[in-house]
Amino acid sequence: MQMPIEKPIVIDDTTLRDGEQTAGVAFSLEEKITIARMLDEIGVGELECGIPAMGAIEQASVRALVDLGLKARLITWNRALVSDIQASLDCGIRAVDISLSVSDIHITHKLRKTRQWVREQLRRALDFCAKHDLYVSVGGEDSSRADPDFLVELMQIAKEMGADRFRFCDTLGILDPFSTYEKITYLRSHVDLDLEVHTHNDLGMATANAIAGVRAGARFVNTTVNGLGERAGNAALEEVIMGLKYACGLDLGLDTRRFVDISKFVGRASCRPVPEWKAVVGERVFSHESGLHADGVLKNPQNYEGFDPGEVGLGRHLVLGKHSGSQALVHRLKELGVELSRIEAVALLDRVRSMSQRNKRALTDSELLLLARRHAEVA
């Protein structure tokens, strides 16, 4: 039995931090400002906007984002070090994510420290945050491989010392939605502290895991536009929002009509063009070719579309190719000003199909008109 989803769910978009952390991606300040503004305008509640400890350039960009005076809360990524948090404070930031490794494999083989060291590090960092009255998310790096009871212990420390939430990170993207659900449920049942899910797409389950986390009671979700992020990326903002709306019946009230604009902008700024089959925002995800589907869509789009393409800023395409049927052919030619009888359409369809097969793609309108003209001449 799944727990009911508790409202309000807050999207913490990290395109500007984990998204930019993708190997080879770097945004200019103007691009960061545009991305932040767009996300703010569509109603994203929180933006993770950088790592001030990286140095002067990053600090200047975080400061510039603070100066925009957005509605969204800006949060920065920090190691659990006073110097990192101080760098965030110096940029005018009032909310911080404090990240520490929490799995034994990281503690032993990356940090070469002990669990006790992690506890002390957390306490020191939280003590500093409390003195500066900061909003604090404690980020558990590699939470998915951590001992759940150690996570509970860290969450208890976080709660006692005034932190506002705990970020459960599936850093390596190795969970499935069922284990994510179980782990978040376990933590929720042990400590009364808000949870956030940060999921990666190494096994193609980032969005599913983010949604599983929400269904288990996490109130905050980390996303990135287009799923941009380390290695295979993060949970995609547009997928999480539309997934929550249509798979879970939970509308977060974002202005989704700008998803395609934002997706294209981030695609260009990151030099990671969006594949045309990308879920939710790919240019061709509302293309219909096969006879049955095209016919069904012509009768009523809801026959073969889970939501209206306009809802995310896309259009519908009926393409003519190898799998087309005569209905779609008649329809398209009519739009192009050519009236065709049913019998003529069936005969022309053979030519459309073989041309598409030869060219390994759908036909363009001019190719279609050419075939229709030749057909009429012969007939």
Binding site for Zn ion (CB under 5 A): 18
- Write down the least CB distance from residue 169 to Zn ion, Å: 6
Which run of H or E residues covers position 10? strand 10-13
Closest CA to 40 of 274, 282, 258, 271: 258
Burial of 379 (0-12, 13-18, 19+ CB in 10 A): exposed
Closest CA to 353 of 292, 291, 283: 291
- Write down the least CB distance from residue 139 to Zn ion, Å: 9
Measured from the CB atom, the residue of 137 and 324 that comes closer to Zn ion is: 137
Q: How large is the angle between the packed helices 326-335 and 291-299, nearest 10 degrees?
A: 60
- Write down the least CB distance from residue 98 to Zn ion, Å: 15
Contact 287, 266 (CB under 8 A): no
Measured from the CB atom, the residue of 156 and 179 that comes closer to Zn ion is: 179
- Write down the least CB distance from residue 15 to Zn ion, Å: 12
Q: What is the DSSP string of 68-108?
A: T--SSEEEEEEES-HHHHHHHHHTT--EEEEEEE-SHHHII
Measured from the CB atom, the residue of 177 and 313 that comes closer to Zn ion is: 177
Contact 170, 209 (CB under 8 A): yes
- Write down the least CB distance from residue 131 to Zn ion, Å: 28
- Residue 12 β-bridge partners: 46, 222
Residue nearest to Zn ion (CB): 18
Which run of H or E residues covers position 129? helix 115-131
Which run of H or E residues covers position 246? helix 237-246
Measured from the CB atom, the residue of 143 and 327 that comes closer to Zn ion is: 143
Measured from the CB atom, the residue of 18 and 295 that comes closer to Zn ion is: 18
Q: Which two tokens stand for residue 279?
A: 């879920």
Distance CA 132, CA 92 (A): 12
Which run of H or E residues covers position 288? strand 287-288
Measured from the CB atom, the residue of 141 and 194 that comes closer to Zn ion is: 141
- Write down the least CB distance from residue 23 to Zn ion, Å: 13
Measured from the CB atom, the residue of 166 and 286 that comes closer to Zn ion is: 166
- Write down the least CB distance from residue 361 to Zn ion, Å: 37
Measured from the CB atom, the residue of 12 and 18 that comes closer to Zn ion is: 18
Distance CA 313, CA 177 (A): 29
- Write down the least CB distance from residue 228 to Zn ion, Å: 11
